[in-house]
Structure 1
Amino acid sequence: MFRTPHILIVGGGYAGFYAAWHLERRLKQSEASVAILDPRPYMTYQPFLPEVVAGSIEARHVAVSLRRHLRRTTVLSGRATSIDHVSKSVHARMNDGREVELAYDTIVVTAGAVTRTLPVPGIAESAFGLKHVEEAVAIRDAFLTALDRAADMPKGPARTRALTVTFIGGGFAGVEGFGELLSLSRAALKRYPEISPDELNFHLVEASERILPEVSAKTGAWVVRSFEHRGARVHLRTTVTSALGGEVILSSGERFESDLIVWTAGIAANPTISKHTDLPINQRGLLIVRPDLRIGTDDHPVVDAWATGPACTTGDAWAAGDNAAVPDLTRTASPPYAYTVPNAQHAVRQGKRLARNITKTLRGGVTRPYRHRSLGTVATLGLGTGVFEAGPVVIKGFLGWLIHRGYQVLAIPTWERKIRVASVWVTALFLGRDVVSLASVQRPRHEFVSGGRLELRTTSEEGLADAA
């Protein structure tokens, strides 16, 4: 008796969401069943997180609901803890604490990457990341709360600390988040006559000799000058050696205290993929995939080299996104391949190619390799300032910012989300930025439980409680 194949997608980020979304469009219900496993019930559109930090976009508008938009896909709320392809099963810890084993016929691994952390004293205790919407909201609220506190403080070390912001990492997440928060600070100070713009201290720390490695060195240098012109400091060829107690110590010997520290120093391999799977990985902990996004190599398909048993069929293991070493055929057409960079532009298109190729495989067709040439690079540096670079074409300033907004609103999935984001932008043109902090929502039961009793706590203690 014929059994409908079951496709399990591990990870609901860009690649996973788009793969499921397009599989629904291409496959009939009788051809396959699809399930997606992710601890969050939504896909986060990460390029908009810096604008969430600045309050230019509502936090919920960058979260694309899996259940609303994946109507024929079973949404499983949990996290994969290991993948055993020999037995075609995924071990998962569900959000309610249950440990379950999920069987599949075809697996799609799109679990993404995690924030890369280094053993810098104090970072784990005091810093925020900027990879999820919750972190972006927390950064915004922490900064606005610091302004409220500083406005009532006398001038001195505590006030200086409250008005000092430190971003560690000069990639896209760090630069865009830094630029947007810097822009928010200038707008917010119009409501804080007690604080002088000269009292704000913004530091961007980057270990290499330049920021934004995805753009040209000349463009990166222009971004540094733009930040410095706006009163910020950019520390190149510098690392943070300690952040204990909020005291930031740089490799240059400089030290200062900072209540808000944001860590954006790159990404690392997902530990479930790099340590808990029998699927083939490279030395960086990324899944080895062929140009058509099947796991394995041209000479050694995963089912021939790593799996056994009559249930295994060619093409039943696929991967894409930040957890996969995807060959970049625009740079080299044969092994040894260069690999696509881990960004949203590639992950979205790889998810679509996955859906096409899996559909073709189920129907006995021929798969096609993933090939995509970059459309260019866009970055926001704050309200009204941005940069766009595509080959020799570089557009900076206000026009670069408009291109960034236009590209990103077209790229975010579903018309429902496009309309919501655009409507907030239009409203802000007339009403300006909202500078209200809602940090108290991190502890919604505090007033109820305390009965209004006065508690004196430091900003650092509040940040840790909020993060918890």
Structure 2
Amino acid sequence: MGNISGQTPEKILIVGGGYAGFYTAWGLEKKLRRGEAEVTLVDPHGYMTYQPFLPEVTAGSIEARHVMVSLRRHLHRTTIIAGHTTSIDHAHRTATVRTNDGALREIGYDTIVVTAGAVTRTFPVPGIADEAIGLKHVEEAVAIRDQLLTAFDRAALLPPGNERRRLLTVTVVGGGFTGVEVFGELLSLATGLLRSYPELGRDDLAFHLVDANKRILPEVTDEPGRWVVEHLKRRGARIHLGTQVVSAADGRILLSTGESYGNGLLIWAAGNGSNPVVARNTDLPVDERGLVRVRADLRVGTDEAPVPHAWAAGDNAAVPDLASPVPGARTVPNAQHAVRQGKLLAANLVADLRGKQPRQYLHHSLGVVATLGIGQGIFQYRRLVIKGFLAWLMHRGYHVLAVPTWERKVRVLLVWVSAVFFGRDIIPLATVQRPRAAFLAGGDPFAGVDGALADLARVADAQATDTRPELSVVRDAG
């Protein structure tokens, strides 16, 4: 029931501060009357990551902090709790949170909003846990960039041969938008870096894109997908379709085709996995994929059996796609849907609080656009397909408009403008992973570099894929 003036304010708990969670809280702050409800948001980071920009962070086209939106800076009337939600007991209206200082805390609520996002989908492939880096978090994007830049420094000191080529070999697993975009951006970065490394040549680079499906970019039709494959091949890439990584152990990639090669950087972008908190640690109804079952108005449950005072949106929710002609279709996990679902969720929460009817979620796609590196992109809206430089400009134009807050828009634009005149910044900061190493080593500025590089993949991958509920780092994927 809605809150009646004079009664205790409704306690609304939002689990997750990604797209859907941030926009829900932001919308509630704009729509709620004073004293009408108390909003609490639980998130381990304290910021929302604009994930479509992460491939450009890996290539140094955007500064890492510019893709993050501070929750505390923009949510002035929301209580922010820095921690991980480990379980939800909706029957008793409580959620258990492990705060970032390690303490367990129970939070009571009247209404819950589950926007915890998804985690990187992994498989039990030998070597993945030791070698791979995901791409859902800013920390991972920065680690990828630092590892590639440092590999160039090391390779420049080596004679031509297998070890130099191994250092400059990059493998991306996953042919969706994230995988293709980071592949194209890193290929563009690596090719451009050769101008600053006269010791190295184009033959020293090896870029492999691996996907188990027979095609990449399932969101576009066949012809644009084939064009992207041919475009990347013309730039020197190796594309392995209908292929799986069998092993990544000991710095070597073994493919299901039998091909094997030494590898320096492994990026795992093979799609989303269900959030372990949602899939296994809640009494809310979930489907066979581990997603929260929701109705078209984003209320948890079904039309026949709605769950009172429970709502969900974003990548951890199975939201009906009313715009699809396919019966039973669900919205795909991307930024377009997560942002709009968050905005509608705020409006529906307020409507429900005031005893009004919530609206159903209906969104027709605005098309899909992807960057393939500096000056290259692909855009499709229905039968309209645009390739190359214009598509790249459309990608940048759309996303600079979509990233929330004018402050972030201006910062991103300024970096892009400066890059036109001065190019990308190519300084690696691998030692930031161990900031005290130089101090402990008596001021040696290079102390800890080897250890930092060895830790990059393990730390970043653990952040994205650890399935222990108390340690899971999750976000709306977008």
- Residues 119-138 of structure 1: pairs in structure 2 closer than 5 A: 119-138=124-143
Q: CA deviation at 1:60?
A: 0.1
2:395 alignment partner AA: H
When normalised by structure 2's length, the TM-score is 0.93
2:87 to 65, 79, 82: 82
> CA 1:64–1:137 in structure 2 vs 1: closer, same or farther (change >3 Å)?
same
Question: Conserved in 1, the CA contact under 8 Å of 2:400 and 2:412?
Answer: yes
Question: Conserved in 2, the CA contact under 8 Å of 1:179 and 1:382?
Answer: yes
- Residues 167-246 of structure 1: pairs in structure 2 closer than 5 A: 167-246=172-251
Question: Conserved in 2, the CA contact under 8 Å of 1:259 and 1:459?
Answer: no
Question: Conserved in 2, the CA contact under 8 Å of 1:187 and 1:433?
Answer: no
Q: CA deviation at 1:337?
A: 2.2
Q: CA deviation at 1:217?
A: 1.1
Instruction: Structure 1: state its 5+ residue gaps.
Output: 304-315
- Residues 232-381 of structure 1: pairs in structure 2 closer than 5 A: 232-303=237-308, 316-332=309-325, 337-381=328-372
Alignment-derived partner of residue 144 in structure 1: 149
Question: Conserved in 1, the CA contact under 8 Å of 2:430 and 2:452?
Answer: no
Alignment-derived partner of residue 96 in structure 1: 101
2:320 alignment partner AA: P
* Per-residue CA distance 1:212-244 (angstroms, 9 max, x = gap): 000111111100111100011110010000000
Distance in 2 of aligned mates of 1:326 and 1:268: 16
2:321 alignment partner AA: D
2:417 maps to 1:426: yes
> CA 1:455–1:79 in structure 2 vs 1: closer, same or farther (change >3 Å)?
closer
> CA 1:446–1:68 in structure 2 vs 1: closer, same or farther (change >3 Å)?
same
Question: Conserved in 1, the CA contact under 8 Å of 2:431 and 2:452?
Answer: no
Q: CA deviation at 1:466?
A: 6.6
Distance in 2 of aligned mates of 1:357 and 1:254: 53
- Residues 105-120 of structure 1: pairs in structure 2 closer than 5 A: 105-120=110-125
2:7 alignment partner AA: F
Q: CA deviation at 1:460?
A: 6.5
Question: Conserved in 2, the CA contact under 8 Å of 1:439 and 1:466?
Answer: no
Question: Conserved in 2, the CA contact under 8 Å of 1:6 and 1:34?
Answer: yes
Q: CA deviation at 1:463?
A: 3.9
> CA 1:362–1:465 in structure 2 vs 1: closer, same or farther (change >3 Å)?
closer
1:369 alignment partner AA: Q
| 2:267 aligned counterpart, secondary structure | strand
Distance in 2 of aligned mates of 1:103 and 1:210: 47
Give the percent of matched residue pairs that are identical in Structure 1 and Structure 2: 61
Question: Conserved in 2, the CA contact under 8 Å of 1:443 and 1:466?
Answer: no
The more displaced of 270-279 and 151-160 is 151-160
Distance in 2 of aligned mates of 1:396 and 1:418: 25
Distance in 1 of aligned mates of 2:267 and 2:168: 14
Distance in 2 of aligned mates of 1:322 and 1:241: 28
Distance in 2 of aligned mates of 1:91 and 1:440: 35
* Per-residue CA distance 1:287-318 (angstroms, 9 max, x = gap): 00011000010011113xxxxxxxxxxxx110
Question: Conserved in 1, the CA contact under 8 Å of 2:120 and 2:136?
Answer: yes
> CA 1:329–1:153 in structure 2 vs 1: closer, same or farther (change >3 Å)?
same
Q: Which has the higher contact order (CA 8 A, sep 6+)?
A: 2
- Residues 147-166 of structure 1: pairs in structure 2 closer than 5 A: 147-166=152-171
1:406 to 397, 400, 413: 397
Alignment-derived partner of residue 20 in structure 1: 25
Question: Conserved in 2, the CA contact under 8 Å of 1:293 and 1:369?
Answer: yes
Alignment-derived partner of residue 474 in structure 2: none
Distance in 2 of aligned mates of 1:128 and 1:387: 25
1:323 alignment partner AA: N
> CA 1:458–1:247 in structure 2 vs 1: closer, same or farther (change >3 Å)?
farther
Distance in 2 of aligned mates of 1:257 and 1:132: 26
Q: CA deviation at 1:454?
A: 6.8
